[in-house]
């Protein structure tokens, strides 16, 4: 009887493993397998590392060595580990250890973290949701229910706050990203439909018909164009996995996420240059500049690397731009399942 039970459990795990994919709907593990030694080395380095969950994260509007900035940045390393370990598990690289680490980290954060609904502080949880979605088929039902309930509380908390304000800056882009990820992570159609409506509203409110964004006007910085666009690209990737095209959707003004990226392209290829934050309207930008944190000078294309490596998953014409950002065809790990 024990043998039959063991075989049944193993078969269930194999089925779950076979059904697993990422939150963008991708499951091509061949490029991860081709970099097996890189991923295996990462697993080996982090197997014994303990999760470092905090009750709260706070980096928005603060500087290094102030408040809990440093502790937050250190704790955020957990999310990189979750995502890379989940990719290792999906590709069959040290499956047991990879899965155990991701499971342990996710449950540790669910036990400790108390959402503060600040989208700049919490934007780093994108990797948490991505990792959870990947390993979810392998978790116990009780664990899934516990994690889903935590995310549901969080998601509906964001939705409640979104219904009470009409922001159109990068904060709103990050809220929409988080809501979209949460909705698909827990298969909540109501949250997903709400995220879809908010996304389209943000395309109209945040991006002009020529492609430049509200935050570029406010901050006089392409860095903030990236902050506007990257979370929207991530949202569009999640929607693509659900069979929806948010990338090329146009608002009544003619604005679209695609136009936002193509407006930025010449600054990445250096056909155009821009001096960052020269005429910003925000005092905090000047504070960061005076603190020597680099919020000044000529825009550097490498800062758009994550944006374009993500966007090329929606538009292959942007692959050459992605390569330009870091002068390499070595795709970041988070893109490998879809490439």
CA-wise closest residue to 338 among 195, 236, 203, 262: 236
Q: What are phi and psi of 298, to 5 degrees?
A: -70, 135
Residue 5, pLDDT score? 41
Is pLDDT of 242 > 70?
Answer: yes
Look at residue 269 and tell me if it is in a domain.
yes
Positive or negative, the CA dihedral 235, 19, 142, 39 is negative
Q: Any bridge partners for residue 207, and if so which? A: 213
For residue 165, tell me if it sits in a domain: no
Could you tell me which residues are beta bridge partners of residue 213? 207
- Cα–Cα nearest to 54, from 113, 105, 129: 113
Mean pLDDT of 229-246: 98
Query: What is the mean predicted confidence (pLDDT) over 78-91?
Result: 98
296 and 194 co-located in one domain: yes
Closest C-alpha among 303, 167, 177 to residue 236: 177
As a whole number of angstroms, the distance between CA 234 and CA 119 comes to: 14
Percent of the chain's residues with pLDDT above 70: 93
- Cβ 14 vs Cβ 37: under 8 Å: no
What is the pLDDT at residue 299? 95
Q: Quick: pLDDT tens for 127-153.
A: 999 999 999 999 999 999 999 999 999
Confidence (pTM): 0.93
Contacts of 243 (CB under 8 A, 6+ apart): none
CATH of the domain at 214: 1.50.10.100
Mean pLDDT for 309-317 is 98
Residue 11 predicted with pLDDT over 70: no
The band of 177, judged by pLDDT with boundaries at 50, 70 and 90, is very high
The answer on 208 and 115 residing in a single domain is: no
Q: Is the pLDDT of residue 310 over 80?
A: yes
Q: Indicate the pLDDT class of residue 339, thresholds 50, 70 and 90.
A: confident
How many CB atoms within 10 Å of residue 214? 21
Is residue 186 in some structural domain? yes
Same domain, 133 and 190: no
Surface-to-core class of residue 54, CB atoms within 10 Å of its CB (0-12 exposed, 13-18 middle, 19+ buried):
middle
Whether the per-residue pLDDT at 42 is higher than 60: the answer is yes
Per-residue pLDDT, 283: 85
Average pLDDT of the chain, as a whole number:
93
Q: CA-CA distance, 258 to 10, in Å (whole number)?
A: 45
Average pLDDT on 10-21 reads 57
pLDDT of residue 276 exceeding 70 = yes
- The pLDDT value given to residue 9: 45
Backbone conformation region of residue 315, classed left if phi is above 0, alpha if psi is from -120 to 50, else beta: beta
Predicted confidence band of residue 6 (pLDDT cuts 50, 70, 90): very low
pLDDT of residue 2: 47
Total of domains in the chain: 2
In tens, the pLDDT along 95-136 reads: 999 999 999 999 999 999 999 999 999 999 999 999 999 999
Give 19's pLDDT tier (boundaries 50, 70, 90).
low
Same-domain status, 28 and 128: yes
Q: Nearest to residue 299, comparing CAs of 320, 317, 278? A: 278
- HSE at residue 163, side-chain half, CA atoms within 13 A, is 8
Q: Assess whether 329 and 204 both reside in one domain.
A: yes
Residues 128 and 181 in one domain: no
3-state helix, strand, coil in the chain (%, to 5): 65, 0, 35
DSSP secondary structure string, 93-140? SSHHHHHHHHHHHHHHHHHH------HHHHGGGHHHHHHHHHHGGGS-
pLDDT of residue 12: 46
Cβ within 8 Å of residue 173, ≥6 positions away: 202, 206, 227, 228, 229, 230, 231, 232
The tokens describing 79, both together, are: 């999310």
* Contacting residues for 214 by C-beta, under 8 A, at least 6 apart: 168, 169, 205, 206, 207, 208, 228
Residue where one domain finishes, among candidates 139, 163, 185: 139
Confidence of residue 166 (pLDDT cuts 50, 70, 90): confident
Assess whether 81 and 220 both reside in one domain. Answer: no
- Examine the domain organization and report whether 31 and 131 are in the same domain: yes
Please report whether residue 206 resides in a domain.
yes
Asked if residue 160 is part of any domain, the answer here is no
Torsion of CA 311, 315, 317, 321, to 10 degrees: 0
Q: How many CA atoms lie within 13 A of 221 on its CB side?
A: 26
* Domain end residue (candidates: 139, 156, 185): 139
> Does some domain include residue 155?
no
Is residue 159 in a domain?
no
**119 and 15 within one domain:** yes
SS3 190: helix
Is residue 201 located within the same domain as residue 334?
Answer: yes
Domain assignment present for residue 151? The answer is no
The answer to whether residues 271 and 202 belong to one domain is yes
Strand partners, 298: 275
Q: Do 8 and 69 belong to one domain?
A: yes
Range of the domain at 193: 176-339
CA dist., res. 23 & res. 131, Å (int): 9
């Amino acid at each position: 009887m024990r043998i039959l039970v063991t075989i049944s459990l193993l078969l269930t795990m194999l089925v779950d493993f076979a059904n697993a994919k990422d939150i963008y709907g991708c499951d091509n593990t061949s490029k991860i397998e081709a970099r097996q030694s890189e991923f295996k080395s990462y697993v080996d380095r982090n197997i014994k590392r303990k999760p470092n969950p905090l009750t709260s994260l706070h980096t928005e509007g603060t500087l290094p060595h102030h408040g809990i900035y440093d502790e937050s940045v250190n704790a955020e390393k957990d999310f990189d580990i979750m995502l890379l370990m989940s990719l290792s598990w999906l590709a069959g690289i040290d499956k047991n250890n990879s899965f155990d680490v991701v499971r342990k980290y996710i449950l540790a954060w669910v036990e400790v973290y108390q959402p503060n609904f600040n989208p700049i502080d919490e934007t780093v949880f994108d990797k948490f949701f991505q990792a959870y979605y990947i390993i979810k088929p392998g978790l116990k039902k009780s664990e899934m229910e516990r994690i889903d309930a935590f995310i549901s509380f969080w998601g509906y908390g964001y939705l409640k706050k979104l219904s009470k304000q009409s922001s159109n800056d990068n904060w709103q882009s990050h809220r929409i990203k988080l809501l979209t990820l949460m909705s698909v992570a827990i298969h909540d159609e109501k949250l997903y439909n709400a995220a879809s409506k908010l996304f389209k509203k943000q395309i109209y409110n945040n991006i002009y018909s020529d492609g430049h964004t509200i935050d570029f006007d406010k901050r006089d910085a392409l860095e903030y164009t990236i902050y506007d666009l990257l979370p929207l690209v991530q949202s569009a990737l999640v929607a693509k996995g659900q069979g929806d095209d948010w990338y090329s959707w146009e608002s009544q003004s003619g604005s679209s996420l695609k136009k936002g990226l193509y407006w930025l392209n010449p600054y990445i290829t250096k056909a155009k240059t821009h001096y960052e934050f020269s005429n910003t309207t925000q005092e905090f930008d000047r504070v960061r500049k005076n603190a020597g944190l680099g919020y000044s000078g000529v825009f550097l294309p490498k800062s758009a690397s994550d944006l374009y490596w993500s966007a090329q998953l929606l538009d292959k014409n942007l692959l050459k731009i992605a390569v330009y950002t870091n002068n390499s065809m070595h795709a970041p790990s988070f893109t490998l399942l879809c490439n």
